[in-house]
Structure 1
Amino acid sequence: MRVGICINDSAGSGIGNYTKELVSQLENIDSIEVKKIQIPAYEVPVFGSYISASYGVQQRLKQYENQVDLFHLPSQTQAAGLIRFETSIPVVVTVHDIIPLVSNYDNILLRTFAQVYERGLQNADGYISISEHTHEDLVDRIRITDGNSYVVYPSITVENYQESASESRLAEMGISKPYLLYVGSQTSKKNVSTVIEALKDLPEDITLVVVGSPGLIPGYLTKYSARKHGVRGRVIQTGFVDVNLLSRLYESALAFVFPSNYEGFGRPPLEAMANGTPVIATSATAVPEIVGDAAMLCSPDQPTEWSDAVLTLLEEDNQREMMIKKGYNRLNQFNWEDCAQKTVAIYEDILNNTTS
């Protein structure tokens, strides 16, 4: 089977990692011939990725129509290229989330573009959701049938965390134990402010380390929240860090916190588990499905629940050790080889359905 997979270097880290790992596994399957379809990344600020996700995808699909048996778009945004596009080749789209379509999203530009790729999604032949929660959102919003919609969990690349930086690098950054760790963007849906507010009810030596791109406005709002709750000196924003330093940050943290209001999957909690870090996570959307019983779950809008969970880890050594053990066990539910095998089965199913 010849499968054309669209690859866009400008894709976000989560989607980019999914595409890279899936392609790597598919290339090891004898029955699959992968054709990597490079989607041009237009260097246009803000609008660049949207242009490449629509015009760029459509142009590349036309070029490869006679070379593949099936197209796979590994991101829902690429479905914008399916608007007014007719092809006899089946198209499968991986949907990571449709958050801008089903929540009160604060990014008007992204919300508007989501309405564009929603139209394209309706022209796909099959859908792979990365969680049951995303699948339910998709079925409710797009009104697709269960016959061509599937759920396949992605994974994380555990090998990335086998080497960690030395403790001295933390000291160089002004980070000392004990600290809570958050990894991700600081947009409003990530809800970092809930953990910041929880800090004021925790011992004063506990800090919050925030890793990832702050963004201009979200980063400012994080600082504002810290000032508002009287914990300004206890919130450290590092920006992006290399994978070895990230591994060290996970390993040395008192706990990893993930207070997001909305997730289609939620990869960082699994990364924390891979590094032996207890996880305190949101009880909202897809996250409970992904973490199972391997995390302490808290309401995203109740700061006292988060501070209570941290205090439990501080006061009960057995709880901490139990969460670490459960985290390692939970990781066994996710692996890239299984993801690839299930994806191939979906390809075969879609091909059979569209040619019969």
Structure 2
Amino acid sequence: MKVIFGTDAIKYPLTGIGRYAYELANRLSVSTDISELFFLNGRKLTQQLPSARETGSSTEGLKQYIKKSRLASETYRLTAPWLKTHVLRKHKDTIYHGPNFYLPPKVDRCVVTFHDLSVFTLPECHPPERVRYMRKELLQTVKRAQIFITDSDFTRKELINYFCLPEDRVFTAKLACSGEFRPYGENQISAVLNKYQLCFKRYSLFTGSIEPRKNIGTLLDAYERLPLPIRQHIPLVISGFKGWSSELLHRRFAKGEREGWLYYLGFTPAADLPALYAGAVSFLFPSLYEGFGLPVLEAMATGTPVVCSNSSSLPEVAGESALMCDAMDVDTLTNLIRKSLEDTSWQTLASECGQVHASQFSWERCAIETIAAYKQVE
């Protein structure tokens, strides 16, 4: 089996999709089922494993301009896929896997990963230009793909139902977290916690892009309902890259910091995330919609109890170990957060059960399930 794997998503800042592509690329590279593995970035084809950069490049400004300009975005949408086609048509005996929604035209043997359908089912949670671009391109991808892969059973069912796809063309390959996400003692992570001026098990944590889909406004509403002494004793720490439509949230972050119950760290290096998770007393993730919800799994793997919403794929990822409620139910979310901060018996049980549950997910299994999908390509 010969495979070309797209690596455009492996870039700064490394989002959940980028991490998925990076981890899967590494596991595919050691699979005995694949005789030849190439990586395609833009129109550059190589056999060298991609690296996950921690800093932006000099082209980031240009990329942001292209995203915001309707003309530039449309020009890119129409021309970039054909550049890939030009490369891929020289490798007709190879399977091409686009791990980030998109497939170029005129490629006979191709697989695509759909991580979620939110640009169709929840468009208000994305910038209009993103919705416009992705809807056009994803409708083309649906027509081009032989085989589809999703991160969760929830997304698999949603994809099948929304596009009326045959069930035997859509496969689930569940995500995982790397071995760095595991429990740590206070001494083991003190250097990272000191870097951010945090105390071991004396803060709660949210990680994710600062954007509407993550429902951070509701999280702040719920946290603000806790008595101020509790909030100041166990502040809310928010780690995430500044996303779109986040100006109001950043003003609320600043207010919480002045009042002594919130710390906004901005985008934190991937190397620091395991320590941030492991040092938290609880992880809070009331997202409106997730195709998988990798941060929930990462928190559980470090032994940190989780409070999350019961929306979309999150019950599937969290299992029975997390406290869950409706994403917009502020009162219940406040009560669950308080339980996660104060109920030591529940903390112990949730930590133990969460680690067991997280151990059922692995990137090796994700690669095996991905290769099983490859084998269905004609």
Q: Normalised by the size of structure 1, how large is the TM-score?
A: 0.87
Distance 1:29 1:200, change over 3 A: closer
Are the equivalent residues in 1 in contact too, given 2:147–2:376 (CA < 8 A)?
no
Q: Which residue of 1 aligns with 2:235?
A: 207
* Cα RMSD (Å): 2.7
Q: CA deviation at 1:28?
A: 1.5
Counterpart CA distance in 1 for 2:192 and 2:316 is 35
Moved more, 223-232 or 257-266: 223-232
Q: Normalised by the size of structure 2, how large is the TM-score?
A: 0.82
Counterpart CA distance in 2 for 1:162 and 1:316 is 19
Moved more, 106-115 or 225-234: 225-234
Deviations 1:242-273 (A, max 9, x none): 34432222122120000110110000111111
Q: Which residue of 1 aligns with 2:64?
A: 46
Counterpart CA distance in 1 for 2:144 and 2:216 is 37
* Aligned residue pairs, count: 344
Are the equivalent residues in 1 in contact too, given 2:211–2:244 (CA < 8 A)?
no
What one-letter code is carried by the residue in structure 2 that aligns with 1:115? R
Counterpart CA distance in 1 for 2:220 and 2:212 is 13
The partner residue of 2:97 within 61, 72, 78 is 72
Q: How does 1:1-356 map to 2 (within 5 A)?
A: 1-8=1-8, 9-10=10-11, 12-32=14-34, 33-39=36-42, 44-46=62-64, 48=66, 55-67=79-91, 68-76=93-101, 78-79=102-103, 81=104, 85-87=105-107, 89-103=108-122, 104-121=124-141, 122-159=143-180, 166-167=189-190, 169-171=192-194, 173-176=196-199, 178-202=202-226, 203-205=230-232, 206-215=234-243, 217-218=245-246, 220-225=247-252, 232-351=259-378
Counterpart CA distance in 1 for 2:300 and 2:276 is 13
Are the equivalent residues in 2 in contact too, given 1:102–1:137 (CA < 8 A)?
no
What one-letter code is carried by the residue in structure 2 that aligns with 1:252? G
What one-letter code is carried by the residue in structure 1 that aligns with 2:151? I
Counterpart CA distance in 2 for 1:35 and 1:172 is 39
Distance 1:213 1:280, change over 3 A: same
Distance 1:38 1:314, change over 3 A: closer
Moved more, 53-62 or 19-28: 53-62
Moved more, 160-169 or 144-153: 160-169
What one-letter code is carried by the residue in structure 2 that aligns with 1:46? Q
User: Percent identity between the aligned chains?
Assistant: 25
Counterpart CA distance in 1 for 2:243 and 2:22 is 25
Moved more, 281-290 or 176-185: 176-185
> Matched residue of 2:238: which SS?
strand
Counterpart CA distance in 2 for 1:254 and 1:160 is 15
> Matched residue of 1:128: which SS?
strand
Counterpart CA distance in 2 for 1:234 and 1:299 is 24
Counterpart CA distance in 2 for 1:232 and 1:120 is 50
Distance 1:3 1:323, change over 3 A: same
Are the equivalent residues in 2 in contact too, given 1:208–1:236 (CA < 8 A)?
yes
Counterpart CA distance in 2 for 1:27 and 1:171 is 37
